[in-house]
Structure 1
Amino acid sequence: MSDGVTRPRTTDAIDGRRFRDVLGNFPTSVVAITTTDAEARPHGMIVGTFTSVSLTPPLVSFLVDRSSTTLRTIRTAGRFCANALAGDQERLSRKLAAGSARQRFADTSWQASALGSPVLDGIVAWVDCTVEQVVEIGDHLLVVGRVHDLRVESMKTPLLFFRGGYGDYLSSAALLLDRLVGWDEIGRQQSAK
């Protein structure tokens, strides 16, 4: 007897390469997650999974591989800052993603947030958090942070990752419509406040 509901077919194991190739078609933001250790040395990593979780209380999250040494530092510090990288910061992203812990912040300018985490120069926006919860999910950990402060730093376009490469968001149609409607002027007035 059928209940009229179509159920998805059970799939066999999904090939890891195919999984990555298909999911690479979903654009993600490029966010530098930063903190400092007990000696106030900066640590950081790049994630493409930063997202808001809750308005009340204000919570955000990101996913990180279990083996991350930066995650260990974040857990010990109990805090992190999420830095939304700008479209012109691909080089910084690559350095924070692949460099050794000591090299990641070489020649990188930053200021300490109120909680003490690095806020990188030249970014789009930042969110300063304490660690609220860490949840094991598959081969990654979901880090949930409670937001203590946040700010838009510039009106630059954000750096994005899409189909295995970097790019930035620029929609000429959206910019044209914003100008026609006058929203670009409203945005400038609000960011000046």
Structure 2
Amino acid sequence: MMQAVGDVTALRTSFSGFPCGVAALAAVVDGEQTVLVASSFTVGVSQDPPLVMFAVQKTSTTWPVLAEAEKIGVSILGETHAESTRQLASKDKSNRFAGLETHTTDEGAILLEKAPVWMECSVEHTYPAGDHDIIVLRVHNLRSDFDHAPLVWHRSAFAALAG
């Protein structure tokens, strides 16, 4: 039986039934490492030009800072990041990168080691979408390393893909 959408808990539970990848978007902004974790990340928005997108809550305090970066590193998180993903998304911004291996590009994009996919991006468009904004990023550089399996967010928990 269908339920009315008015119940936010029912809506979130239903949305959680759709497995999706997890991405860390990170850059050095004003000398500080900044990171945002998104489970709403979507690849393949466009091939020409190369575009990807994600949604961010309008109440985010991290996104307005990260949006100022010249380039943003997008790391599609792998199974090896399962334990550190909650740390990256923590409210304690001072410890988010503690113990993590990263690579920083000349333009300030931060990429996490052992990620199946790296992308160096810039903000192309921002569109309002209810209590979120849809952010479209242009991909400038990328790398794939499929020796590392992706991390999946499903039913409000991290999961691994069965091979």
TM-score (norm 2): 0.91
Give structure 1 regions of 4+ aligned residues with deviation exceeding 4 angstroms. none
Cα deviation, residue 46, structure 1: 1.0
Contact 1:85 1:123 in 2 (8 A): yes
Cα deviation, residue 116, structure 1: 1.6
Inter-partner Cα distance in structure 2 for 1:99 and 1:154: 31
1:44 maps onto 2:45 in alignment? no
Contact 2:78 2:115 in 1 (8 A): yes
Cα deviation, residue 99, structure 1: 4.0
Report the 3-state secondary structure (helix = DSSP H, G, I; strand = E; otherwise coil) of the residue aligned with 1:77. coil
The structure with the largest alpha-carbon Rg is 1
Contact 1:157 1:170 in 2 (8 A): no
Among candidates 53, 74, 98, match of residue 61 of structure 1: 53
Higher helix share: 1
Question: Against the structure 1 CA distance between its residues 165 and 18, is the aligned structure 2 distance closer, same or farther, given a 3 Å change threshold?
Answer: same
Inter-partner Cα distance in structure 2 for 1:72 and 1:113: 21
Q: Per chain length, whose mean CA-contact separation is higher, i.e. which structure has more relative contact order (CA < 8 Å, sep 6+)?
A: 2
RMSD: 1.6
Inter-partner Cα distance in structure 2 for 1:23 and 1:88: 25
Inter-partner Cα distance in structure 1 for 2:106 and 2:125: 21
Aligned length: 160
Inter-partner Cα distance in structure 2 for 1:22 and 1:12: 12
TM-score (norm 1): 0.77
Q: Unaligned regions of 5+ residues in structure 1, if any?
A: 1-10, 172-193
Q: Percent identity?
A: 28
Equivalent residue letter for 2:133: L
